[in-house]
Amino acid sequence: MEIMKKYGIAPNKGLGQNFLVDGNIAQAIVKGCRLQEDDNVLEIGPGLGALTAGMAVAAGRVVAVEIDKGFIPVLQDNLQGFDNVEIINMDIMKMDLKDVVRTRFGGRPFKVVGNLPYYLTTPIIMKLLEQQLPITTMVFMIQKEVGQRLSARPSTKEYGALTLAVGYYTDCEVLFKVPNTVFIPRPKVDSIVIRLTPKAQKNLKPKDERLMFRIIRAAFEQRRKTLVNALAHGGILGGDKERIRQVLKGLDIGPESRGEQLTLEQYCKIADNIYGLQKLP
């Protein structure tokens, strides 16, 4: 690309960079955000700014967070005509997002948009979901494989902690597919664009949300182990296998069950039972 030659920059494999070069798809992504003129937007990984200008036109304020300092001059030059865009050179995973909401958005609701690198998709989405930020919409372009994990069913290899977290916190829509031919460099797989809308009211109400997700993480960090062994390894109930076994037995969950076989509702029940045991003298 001419713009990359001009600035002497190249995609960084270590950061999983693949840049969108199709303007029609960029417009479709911006449209999928349903932006209003007073919206605040947090953009993760603007890269060359394929989406940023379109969002700046439609929204009230855009804060674009780019980890690669080599792309900051490109963004500054391409977006200099917009006084409602702020570019921050930082790793989104190291940012205090609550501080961003307070200092950049005045504590008001905001939308999140990004072309997420494969290796950071799960950590970024989990961070956004677990921090209980005033997010109204999230629109992400992600690899197709990750998209399959978001809507996976129990007892499949795609089913995991991300599936459960997204299902608990949001309603997930697949907006459209994106072929690998519209990126530089060209990735090996196609992508999809998804829209996550946080639920106004969650279907389940665990007594301790953090405990439930601690149990879920423990189950999938050791997904080849039985649930008893995985939860014990994760320090649940102090690693006491017998107590964990009794909790599962009381919920008609077999001792040889594995984490990938359980539904979100079952994890909620496990967490509520363990929460009760933790409160006993």
Q: How confident is the model over 156-165, as a mean pLDDT?
A: 94
Tens digits of residue pLDDT in 231-240: 999 999 999 9
Domain boundary among 157, 179, 198: 198
- The answer to the question of residue 266 being in a domain is yes
> Does residue 146 sit in the same domain as residue 24?
yes
The enclosing domain of 73 has a CATH number of 3.40.50.150
Per the CB < 8 A criterion, the answer to whether 108 and 45 are in contact is no
Separation CA 58–CA 31 (nearest Å): 9
CB neighbourhood size of 94 (10 A): 7
Q: What is the mean pLDDT of residues 258-268?
A: 96
Per-residue pLDDT at 4: 59
Torsion of CA 152, 136, 24, 125, to 10 degrees: -40
Give SS3 for 14. helix
Asked if 130 and 222 sit in the same domain, the reply is no
Residue (of 16, 247, 275) closest to 123 by Cα position: 16
The CATH code of the domain that includes 270 is 1.10.8.100
Q: Which of 146, 149, 165 is nearest to 157 (CA)?
A: 149
**H helices, E strands: number in the chain:** 12, 9
Q: Is 260 helix (H, G, I), strand (E, B) or coil?
A: helix
Instruction: Return the biggest CA–CA distance within the chain.
Output: 69
**Mean pLDDT computed over 138-158:** 92
Domain contains 204: no
- Above 90 in pLDDT, residue 107? yes
pLDDT score for 45: 92
Percent of the chain with pLDDT over 70: 93
| Mean pLDDT value across residues 115-123 | 88
At 211 the pLDDT is 96
Give tens-digit pLDDT for 193-241: 999 999 988 889 999 999 999 999 999 998 889 999 999 999 999 999 9
Both 139 and 213 in one domain: the answer is no
Contact between residue 101 and residue 63 where contact means Cβ atoms under 8 Å apart: no
Element housing 265 (H / E): helix 264-278
Per-residue pLDDT band at 260 (split at 50, 70, 90): very high
In terms of domains, do 21 and 74 share one? yes
Find the domain containing 75 and state its range: 2-198
Could you tell me if 113 and 223 lie in one domain? no
Residues 67-100 pLDDT 10s: 989 889 989 998 999 999 999 999 999 999 999 9
Last residue of a domain, one of 198, 222, 246: 198
What does pTM read for this prediction? Answer: 0.86
32-59 per-position pLDDT tens digit: 999 999 999 999 999 888 899 999 999 9
Beta 135-143 vs 170-178: how paired, if at all?
unpaired
Residues 158 and 256 in one domain: no
Mean pLDDT of 136-148: 93
**First-residue to last-residue Cα distance in the chain:** 66
Number of domains in the chain: 2
203 is a domain residue: no
- Residue ending a domain, among 166, 198, 230, is 198
Residues 240 and 192 placed together within one structural domain of the fold = no
Looking at the structure, tell me whether residues 217 and 182 fall in a common domain: no
Tell me the pLDDT band of 5, cut-offs 50, 70 and 90. Answer: low
Indicate if 171 and 249 belong to the same structural domain. Answer: no
